[in-house]
Structure 1
Amino acid sequence: MSRPPVVARTLPALRRALGELRRRNASVALVPTMGALHDGHISLVRLAKRRADKVVVSVFVNPTQFAPNEDFGSYPRTWKADAAKLAAENVDLIWNPDVKAMYPEGFASRIGVDGPAVAGLEDRFRPHFFGGVATVVGKLFMQVRPDFAIFGSKDYQQLRVVTRMAADLDTGVKVIGAPTVRERDGLAMSSRNVYLSPEQRQIAPTLYRAMKEVAKLLKAGKSADAAVAVGSKLITEAGFALDYLEARHAETLAPVRSLKDGPIRLLVAAKIGTTRLIDNIAV
């Protein structure tokens, strides 16, 4: 029978636990999460186990990436279920700080981001978001000092921002993007899916189907504008309020006109009721 993971809630406890993990020069992979773990998160843990000798999972709902009108207070917190899932996966260490441990009194430093963080996608609607993400991920990298960090590709712009930051700041952390895990009907797994009513849940896979249709049209030679227009119509007619559906260069996130402009990523964000969903696929 395997041992339950060590749980650290203070920096001294984290450092002691990491010292134990790193004996015999073991490699360490970090999986940053905000909890409310689902099968998508577990896929990240399993990838981390394949890449490193030891796995650390952080569980921290980060207030600095939420705007005042967003759902920080109601964001699902399921610690007991999360800890049980991580124990079942034989995770070595859970880093579960509270807000005061991560942002002590007098905290006054932030990481500023540019490049993929100002691509006119999520940053148009959540201008505060990537600064908060970069700051907390930067702190996690400094605290854990992992060899690898595993992020899901569902938050694709975030993945590009974190990858750029890790390289620009010479962190020595190799950021690895894991494939999006989907329900059988194509809906990307997300902690926010629990907010969907049964009727909304039936409609939600429209985002994935619309992106697949856009990809099909692009491969058939349609311009990005024409293909995206078709996908946008499918989404809005299903009952979503569309924030964006965009065809972008997969590395730089720059706008593209057609398949000739390089590897393409389709990215979408839309609201159904009060729930905002994001998704993306490669073309």
Structure 2
Amino acid sequence: MENEDRNFYTFFLNQANNVMKANMDFMFKKCKDVLDSCIQLLSDFICIQKWTFPIESKKDEMLDRYLMYPMMMHVVYPNLQFVIIAVLLGAIPQAIYSLRTALEAIGIALYVDNKDEFKSLDLHQKMERKKIIDVRLAGVKESLIKIAQEITSKEQAEEWVNYILDVYSQLSAWIHPIARAHRTRQREREVFPAGLLRAIILTAGKYGVPPSYGLLIPMEYDEVDIEDLNYFKELVELTEISITLLVYIWSRDKDISDKIAIEKFLETLCNKTE
């Protein structure tokens, strides 16, 4: 019985391994930049972690106080690493879910660490507060704008937070079978129908077959998946800008290793999108 069980699970292990190899070959030939964007996001985030580490004289105090540090280490980094695995498995929705988790983690950490109500609490106290336990990124828009206003104008703060929440909305649309999302185009916000089922139906209508993730996961990519993969790459880039912007806001009043590096990196990311 034990051997039968092992053989059963080995089948799934081998299947996943074969799919990942096939998908890596496919992306290297057809859309290597998609895979590169995932690797780049993880690599850049490692740099962000290094830049935001406390200066030596404040190290113990800051690590005991700020939620941002455990969020980065235990939530964001593992999820950004899994993005690469998920894409190789053909699991685009699961990769997007990990992007969403990472973005929400950074946003909540900014909210908790910088909101006046929670500033004096240590890390343990923050983790026990009901208001913090129940917090959701989409529900703290006004607080995030107020926090951002401490380093910029109200108009700029609103633009930043709207941008971040629009990206979060686009990521969230892939989590639900049927949804709606927001995006900003030339300073105007639009609402559009979205959702996982809608994406599958639209692809099937356009190409005659559903995308790979609408059939089986793990699943090898085909030509019909290239459009979704390119859109996924766009979401990776938008997520990176959003995460960096949140960290930039968070870092302005903190005794961290390199504020200038974060600012320059954010400028570089923004210039790429213009």
TM-score (norm 1): 0.24
Identify the structure with bigger relative contact order (alpha carbons < 8 Å, sequence gap 6+).
2
Q: Relative to total residues, which structure has the larger helix share, 1 or 2?
A: 2
TM-score, normalisation: structure 2: 0.24
* Higher Rg of the two aligned structures: 2
